[in-house]
């Protein structure tokens, strides 16, 4: 282990490969399919948290749906600028996927004030109108995920995939339970419990982008 842990002479690719070997070894037996495992492993890599081995939940078609949508150049919408910052622009760009996050837009702040709703909700409403068949990535705000599900039920949008990983103590777990119930009929990747976050959501997207980039 001493040799493996000496990262200072290693390049980022070598460090990632060494990390993945450690995770493969330490994770032991699990029921994730060969198609799903790269997603789960990258989340563990990003969080250093093996809880995700048990807590992640995805529809059987989630990875395939993501790969198809990415290769078709569907847009990717995030709820936070942190998730946006963490998604690999080089890969998204190679498929022609447009990345966006409305939460800091001036007109979204204005709409939120005018309608008496949060900026997260106003940003999601606009995203649903403008990216009705996109991939939606929510790493922070339960209210954004609740709003997205509402807009799907309303028929405003039909996402290609929902990556729903809000984190926190109020609303996060409930929003993910609602998504995981499968009532929407939309492919999704989420997790059970309070954990989640922008880094985890970005890791899921990067695993899917890498998968889509494979021959």
- Give the residue numbers annotated as catalytic, written as ranges: 45
Stretch that binds a second copy, among 43-51, 122-130, 152-160, 207-215 (CB under 8 A): 43-51
Query: Binding of a second copy at residue 151 (CB under 8 A)?
Result: no
Q: Judged by CB under 8 A, how many residues of this single chain contact a second copy? A: 45
Burial class (CB in 10 A: 0-12, 13-18, 19+), 168: middle
How far is it, in rounded angstroms, from Cα 120 to Cα 136? Answer: 13
Q: Which of 139, 174, 179 is nearest to 159 (CA)?
A: 179
- Name the burial class of residue 211, with classes exposed (0-12), middle (13-18) and buried (19+) by CB atoms within 10 angstroms of its CB: middle
Closest CB 138 distance from a second copy, rounded Å = 14
Both tokens of residue 101? 């996050």
Give CA–CA dist 205/53, Å, rounded: 17
Quick check: 33 binds a second copy (CB under 8 A)? no
41: tokens are 């492993």
**Using an 8 Å Cβ cutoff, are 63 and 36 in contact?**
yes
> Shortest distance, CB of residue 71 to a second copy, whole angstroms?
26
Q: Supply the minimum distance, in Å, between the C-beta of residue 35 and a second copy.
A: 23
Per CB under 8 A, which of residues 74..103 are in contact with a second copy? 80-82, 84-86
Q: Which is nearer to a second copy, 8 or 214 (CB)?
A: 8
7 is a contact residue toward a second copy (CB under 8 A): yes
Footprint of a second copy on this chain (CB under 8 A)? 4-8, 10-12, 15, 18-19, 22-23, 45-49, 80-82, 84-86, 118, 120, 142-143, 146, 167-174, 193-199, 202
């Amino acid at each position: 282990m001493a040799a493996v842990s000496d990262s200072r002479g290693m390049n980022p690719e070598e460090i990632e490969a060494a990390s993945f070997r450690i995770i493969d070894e330490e994770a032991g037996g699990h029921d994730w399919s060969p198609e799903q495992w790269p997603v789960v492993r990258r989340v563990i890599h990003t969080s250093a948290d093996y809880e995700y081995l048990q807590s992640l939940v995805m529809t059987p078609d989630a990875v395939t749906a993501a790969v198809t949508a990415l290769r078709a150049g569907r847009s990717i919408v995030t709820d936070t600028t942190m998730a946006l910052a963490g998604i690999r622009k080089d890969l998204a760009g190679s498929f022609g996927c447009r990345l966006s996050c409305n939460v800091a837009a001036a007109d979204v702040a204005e709409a939120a004030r005018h309608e008496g709703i949060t900026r997260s909700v106003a940003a999601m409403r606009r995203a649903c109108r403008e990216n009705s068949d996109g991939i939606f990535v929510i790493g922070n705000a339960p209210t954004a995920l609740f709003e997205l599900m509402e807009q799907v039920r309303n028929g405003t949008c039909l996402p290609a995939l929902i990556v729903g990983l809000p984190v926190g103590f109020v609303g996060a777990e409930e929003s993910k339970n609602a998504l995981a119930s499968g009532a929407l009929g939309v492919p999704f990747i989420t997790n059970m419990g309070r954990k989640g976050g922008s880094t985890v959501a970005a890791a899921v997207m990067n695993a899917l982008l890498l998968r889509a980039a494979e021959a």
